[in-house]
Structure 1
Amino acid sequence: MRSPSNDEILDAADALFYARGVQTVGMDELRTASGASLKRLYQEFPSKEALVAAWLRRRDAAWRARLAAHVDRVEEPRARVLAVFGWLAEWFAEPDFRGCAFVNAFGELGATSAAVAAEARRHKELFAGYVRDLVTAAGGSPSLSTQVFVLAEGAIVTAAVLGTPDAARSAREAAAVLLDGSGGAARFR
């Protein structure tokens, strides 16, 4: 019998952790879902905390790649900023959307797991940097990029709690107002 790969273990972890939360999923359940023996699981990930950190790192890379692929289809700088919210709306409308895995994991384990807290912070810092680069390319300031980032983060939480993708549209409209009112309205029209 073939032993599952690291990616297959992380695929199973992703499906279970994102749908149900980290603390409700035991290693025995993960073993069953992945087809890995407990020995194999612990060879790859010496602890559940190590597994969760690896899952978050992989999820971060995939999440940011999907976002960038969407935004990269747009050329005009202002429209690229607003494309972030278009992608969020698509993500929010997915049937398995359960909010931000990083916020969820931080809420569950951030106070007790330095590794999980670090991965959640890293993801948010990378996303904030991505938004900053987009806003700067559109002629916006660092403070404006922070405001746009906070709008995106607020939309993610709102969509998860209310169960509707409408938060992305509202945040996009607010971001457009901020971009247009940032002293460069003529440049953006």
Structure 2
Amino acid sequence: MARPSKREDVLEAADHCFYEHGIAATGVDAIAEAAGVSKRTLYNHFPSKDDLLEHYLSWREERWRRRLDEALDGVEDPVDRILVYFDVYFASLEGDAFRGCAFINAAAELPDDSPGLAVIVASKERVRADVAALLAEAGHPDPGPTSLAVATLLEGGCAVGGIRRSADQLPALKDAARALATAALPVA
């Protein structure tokens, strides 16, 4: 297997440090040390901590999207595809290492004009838009409000699951999401 690049090492270290300790509490020295690179190497790849943060969040989003795509492979029914989002969101809830949604945690620390916050907002909006598209595909007459409700159920469930360090509420949340998704569908 090929060795990850120094850039990838820095992103992996940022993932661990930002998630474990928070953005404000994590300096570039700690990230460089965790990555096994010099500060100069870190800055060669990322000119500032804000730049690193934006790339880290985009990198994390890409990894999450790949896992989602893999989980969606072979699932044809649009409502079942919506429920896959719950499975993927909740896949990492168990255990002491889970500290909640990395994007929600980061958003709480970022100013309104942060490019990193823009990555987070785009990610959350993309999930809502995905759900709306799947509802429309299923024949829902007005997918906008229902997609917002399902996405909020997903995000809120993930937040509460993070607090509890448990995915035990996942079946109930998926049942609620299915009920929301199918309530206005035409009878076949």
Structure 1 CA distance for aligned equivalents of residues 49 and 43 of structure 2: 9
Structure 1 residue ranges, 4+ long, deviating more than 6 angstroms after superposition: none
Q: Write the deviation string for residues 120-151 of structure 1: whole angstroms up to 9, x where unpaired.
A: 11111222222222222222222222221111
Q: Is the 8 A contact 2:79 2:138 kept in 1?
A: yes
2:129 maps to 1:135: no
Alignment of 1:42-121 (within 5 A): 42-93=43-94, 96-111=97-112, 114-121=114-121
- 1:81 Cα offset (Å): 1.6
State the 1:154 CA deviation: 1.1
Q: Which amino acid aligns with 1:139?
A: G
| Structure-2 separation of matches of 1:104 and 1:167 | 21
For 1:23-42, what aligned pairs fall within 5 Å after superposition?
23-42=24-43
Q: Is the contact made by 1:81 and 1:131 (CA closer than 8 Å) also made in structure 2?
A: yes
Structure 1 unaligned runs (5+)? none
Pairwise CA distance, 1:55: 0.2
Task: Number of aligned residue pairs: give it.
Answer: 182
**Letter paired with 1:147:** A
Distance 1:64 1:110 in 2: 25
Q: 1:136 to 1:54 in 2, by over 3 A?
A: same
TM-aligned CA deviation for residue 6 of structure 1 = 0.9
1:94 positional shift? 6.0
Tell me the TM-score normalized by structure 2. 0.87
Q: Distance in 2 between matches of 1:80 and 1:72?
A: 9
**RMSD in angstroms over aligned alpha carbons?**
1.9
Q: Alignment partner of 2:31: what SS?
A: helix
Q: CA deviation at 1:72?
A: 2.3
Distance 2:92 2:74 in 1: 16
Determine if contact 2:138/2:185 at 8 Å carries over to the other structure.
Answer: no
